[in-house]
Amino acid sequence: MYFLLACGTEAPSPDSAGDSAQDTGALDSGDSAAPVDSGDSGQPPPFEGMHLGIPALGAPDGEAWSGWVAGAAATGGWLYVNVDEGPGATKDNTWAAAIAGARAEGVVVVGYVGTESGTRDADDVERDIGRWAAWFDVDGVVFDVVGADCATMPTWYAEQVALADSKDPGGDAFVVLTGAGTACEGWAAVGDVLVVASGGASALAAVSPPAWMEALPPQRFAAFVTAVSADERAGSMQAAVDAGIGTVYVTDDVDPAPFDALPTYWTAEIESIAQ
């Protein structure tokens, strides 16, 4: 496991990500990423230093997927994917090719593993972690910790992280925890990135960073913000900055499937962050 810190110059690989992230404070897009013009005559983009953390939950062979990959590559970001409630029961070659293509662009890809708030059978969790590693060669995993008792469950999740590390070629799987919130400092010792807000703008507005969160780099925290209009996008991104959140995904897509298509303002979102 390694910690996502701030901007750097080289993309992490399964063999080097742990050391490079701690040495440079970086999860970067790599040399292969095409530069994105900020359109402001050489001035830095307004949210330079942020990253895109993208719940890429649409089809792996459509326009949205290629846009998500381009955005993550241009901003030193990562993609969160879910084939079929995890890696699925059999290898999906379309997904495997798409993930391989994203990683070739320097994008970190993490796969969803269901945990049922820490109550799922550990053998099933191990099976899914193993399938993600063997079938899709991902960089790490996503655990949803909503509802997990933060007084006891970080230890259980830490065991699953150790398992993911053991199946990673470099021993340093990248771990995202969704639904972590800000009430439990214990999650910070488990995940590389904690998704502390997910939903409409009100979910982001409710984040009041405690002292333990303020002591950590902003890129350790992420927000997935939905139903945001083009006029509200910059304001939502600034609200994330003000809350100490350095990794975002802001979209005008809405429930019940807010992460299956590109935001209509995707180019502007990338350009406001691109390094």
Instruction: Check whether 2 has a pLDDT greater than 50.
Output: no
The predicted structure's pLDDT at residue 115: 97
CA–CA gap between residue 18 and residue 168 (Å, rounded): 11
Summarised one tens digit per residue, pLDDT across range 140-161 is: 999 999 999 988 999 999 999 9
37-69 pLDDT, tens digit each: 444 456 889 999 999 999 999 999 989 999 999
Confidence class of residue 29 from pLDDT cuts 50, 70 and 90?
Answer: very low
pLDDT tens track for 201-231: 999 999 999 999 999 999 999 999 999 999 9
Instruction: Compute the mean pLDDT over every residue in the chain, rounded to the nearest whole number.
Output: 87
Residue (of 158, 157, 191, 161) closest to 176 by Cα position: 191
Q: What is the mean predicted confidence (pLDDT) over 152-176?
A: 96
How much is the pLDDT for 15? 37
Please state at what angle helix 122-131 crosses helix 153-167, rounded to 10 degrees.
Answer: 30
Average pLDDT on 263-271 reads 97
The H or E element that residue 177 is part of is strand 174-178
- Note the pTM of the prediction, 2 decimals: 0.85
Distances (CA, A) of 163 to 1, 133, 159: 10, 11, 6
**pLDDT of residue 35 exceeding 70:** no
In this prediction, residue 42 carries a pLDDT of 66
Q: What pLDDT is recorded for position 159?
A: 96
Please state the rounded mean pLDDT for residues 16-26.
33
Encode pLDDT of 232-251 as tens digits: 999 999 999 999 999 999 99
Of 4 and 109, which is predicted with more confidence?
109
Pick from 55, 40, 102: which is nearest to 274 by CA? 40
Residue spans of the domains in the chain: they are 50-271
Share of the chain above pLDDT 70, in %: 84
Paired residues of 160 in beta bridges: none
Fold of 50-271: TIM Barrel (3.20.20)
